[in-house]
Each structure stands twice: as structure tokens, then as C-alpha cells.
Amino acid sequence: MRMCEPMVDHPATLEDLVARAKERTPIRVAVVTADQGLVLETVQEAVALGLIEPQLVGDPDAILACAASSNVEIDRAAIISAKSDAETARAGVDLVRNGDADAVMKDHIQTDAFMRALLDTDRGLRLPGRRVSHVFMVDIPAYPKLLAITDAAINITPDLNAKAQILENAIALSSLLGIETPKAAVLSTVETVNPAIASTLDAACLALMAKRGQVAGAIVDGPMAFDNAISADAAREKGIISAVAGDVDILLVPDLVSGNILAKNLEYLADATAAGVVMGLSAPVVLSSRADPPAARLAALALAVLMHRPTPPRSQQPRRGEPESAIHCAVQPEAACCPMGT
């Protein structure tokens, strides 16, 4: 059971997101390397709920064999033939670029090949001036509302500039989900600034940037240790006065390793379910682990439905003669991204 009731209109569970997505028009999803039983079962459920119209990309024989063994009925006309991981990832991205799909879902494919196609400078889905980052929306039984964790999958060791953009992506996702002015905690190991711990310096800068309007749309505090962000009681015991403590919506982690460990700890030790999506691209991208349960995959597809917009908002389109982002100072290299080996 949950500790307390969530705020009005705030999605409390991943099931809430699925319910909201059912009210939207189905989107066309390119499922890349669609030859895993759990994924085909999830796709079938998503179709039954009216969330998606799937396009199954991969080896037709493998997809049909997997469907037969899983007792999943599929439309042969929905299969897009591709053999290697690279070819399959490219085919999925091309479907979006050509206007034949609205979103992409990673299935039984190595993430490095999948991300390489997404981040391709000439043929990928990148947007000018936008950093690509990952957000887990985590449903934790012991917490009263959904919790966003970022970035636990793509950016390895982000600097201050990268963290600001990662935070903006998470704020943008929260806004799409109807969360007005989310509360974000910039995590470190302590709640005080320590020059010997770089993440505390970044956290303090981000909190100040939010107060000065350089990062907009959220209440940001940091540095904060995990216990202070999650528990108002822990914050009070330490004498921390913060609007974020105990009511946090977004956890911005110091780096990929700490974020990935945190997300998986919650999944395996706190009975949490995490739905992962990629932000900063021209279309919704579902980035799941091959070990994810069907509930997580279905919720991630629901997130993609809620993220989908027929055309990019004008606010995401850089104006001629203006910098693409007030906090963007360098192109995001592929070397800064770590595709999950999951």
C-alpha cells in the first residue's frame, strides 16, 4: 500500500499513465527486432487497449516463430524485414523519418546499435540544440506518486552544462504528463557543498540556476542526499528546510552508474516498476531493458503515446540568429553516451 494519497491530478502509478494514454489516438510504433515473446505479448496488449498500431521490424521468420510459440496473433503485413541489429535499428529510425511511424521501441537488440541509429548526425532523430537523455518513470509502492530518475542510461558522466539540459528534459516530460512545476532534487552523497565532491558543486549551481531562471519550470534544490529528497522526516532531523524534501518528483543523479544502480535497486528490492523513455529526439523512443516485465514495457508505450506530438512545438525550434539553447555549449558526442548493455 502507498504511504499517502498523491496530489490532485498528479499521476500516482504507471497504471494512471496507461489510463490517460487510452484516451488518446493510437500511435504507430516501430518495434525494433520484435522477436521476443514478452515484447510481442506487450504489443498485443497495447493494441487491445487502443494505444498503438505496431510495425514489427526484424527477421520475419524469427518474429513469426516467436509469435507462434507465445500464442500471439500478428498481422504479417505489419512485419518490416531486416536482418542484422544495425539494419533493424536503421529501418526503425527510417520509418519515423519517412513519416510511417510515430515512435520507436527497442526490443531484443543491443542498445549500442540502437542508439547509434538514433544519434546518427545525418539520418537519426536528433534535434538541433537538444541533448539526448533518458528518464525512468518509477512506480514505487512506498512512495505516493511517480518518481522520475534521470539520467540512468545514456549520459555517462555529465558536466554541469549537460546536467542542466538533462534536468530540462525531465521537466519537459513532467509537463507533458500534467505535472505543473515539478520538484527536482539534485542528488549527491551529502546535503552540503563540499569542494572535494564535484557533484555537490554542480547541484548547488543548478539550484541557483533555477532560482535565476536559467532552468525553468521546476522547483530545484541541491545538493540533496537521497534520504532527504525522499523523506521529509529525514530532512527535518538534519535541519534541512526545503520545499522539495519529501515531495520530490524528479531525482537528477550525479552520473549514469549511480542512477542505474538506484533504479535497479528500487526495481529489485523495493518492488518498483520503471518505464524508460528517451528525451531530446524528434519522436518518442521507448528504451527498455530486455529484463523488463510486461507492465514496465506497457507503461513505457503509454508514455510514448502521451509524449507524441504531430509536429514539434515552436518552443523546441531554434530561431534564426539565436543560440539553440541558453545553456548549450557543445555538441553531445556519442562518446558521452553509454548505451545500456541490457
pLDDT score, position 11: 81
Domain assignment of residue 333, yes or no: no
Main-chain dihedrals φ then ψ at residue 165, nearest 5 degrees: -75, -35
Same domain, 219 and 296: no
In a domain, 237, yes or no: yes
The total number of structural domains in the chain stands at: 2
In a domain, 330, yes or no: no
Instruction: Please give the share of the chain, as a percent, with pLDDT higher than 70.
Output: 88
Scored b (16 or more CB within 10 A) or e, 61-100 reads eebeebbeeeebebeeebbbebeebbbbbbbbbbbbeeee
12 and 145 in contact (C-beta within 8 Å)? yes
pLDDT of residue 95: 96
Q: How far apart are CA 82 and CA 138, in angstroms?
A: 33
- What pLDDT sits at residue 326? 39
- Do both 161 and 116 map to the same domain? no
Asked if residue 8 has pLDDT above 70, the reply is no
Amino acid at 156: I
Query: What is the C-alpha separation between 229 and 242, in angstroms, rounded?
Result: 9
d(CA 313, CA 303): 18
Residues 179 and 232 in one domain: yes
pLDDT digits (tens, 9 = 90+) for 194-239: 999 999 999 999 999 999 999 999 999 999 999 999 999 999 999 9
Distance separating alpha carbons of residues 97 and 334, to the nearest angstrom: 20
Output DSSP code: residue 77: G
pLDDT at 313: 40
- Co-location of 40 and 105 in the same domain: yes
With respect to residue 336, please indicate whether it lies within any of the assigned structural domains.
no
Whether residue 299 is predicted with pLDDT greater than 80 in this model: the reply is yes
Q: Does 266 reside within a domain? A: yes
Lowest mean pLDDT among 105-109, 195-199, 217-221, 301-305: 105-109
- Based on the domain organization, do 142 and 107 belong to the same domain? no
pLDDT tens, residue by residue, 228-281? 999 999 999 999 989 999 999 999 999 999 999 999 999 999 999 999 999 999
Instruction: Give the residue carrying C-alpha cell 524469427.
Output: 62
Co-location of 75 and 138 in the same domain? no
Is 322 a domain residue?
no
Cβ-proximal residues to 10 (8 Å cutoff; 6+ apart), any chain: 145, 146, 178, 179
The pTM of the full predicted model, rounded to 2 decimals, is: 0.88
336: pLDDT strictly greater than 80 = no
Same domain, 100 and 44: yes
Domain end, chosen from 252, 278, 304, is at 278
* Mean pLDDT within 141-155: 95
| C-alpha separations of 226 from 107, 186, 222, 275 in Å | 32, 9, 11, 20
The pLDDT of 19-36, averaged and rounded, is 94
Residue 89, sorted as left (phi over 0), alpha (psi -120 to 50) or beta, turns out to be alpha
| Domain with 254 in it | 133-278
* Residues 89 and 269: beta-carbon distance below 8 Å: no
| Judgement on whether residues 186 and 292 belong to the same structural domain of the protein | no
Regarding whether 286 and 244 lie in a shared domain, the answer is no
Extract the C-alpha cell encoding 196. Answer: 572535494
Residue 213 contacts by C-beta under 8 Å, 6 or more apart in sequence?
A: none
Intra-chain end-to-end CA distance of the chain, in Å: 30
Same domain, 221 and 299: no
Q: In this structure, what CATH number is given to the domain that contains residue 264? A: 3.40.718.10
The pLDDT assigned to 286 comes to 95
213 shares its domain with 122: no
Kindly state whether residues 46 and 170 are assigned to the same domain. no
- Domain contains 324: no
Q: What is the CATH number of the domain that holds 305?
A: 3.40.50.10950
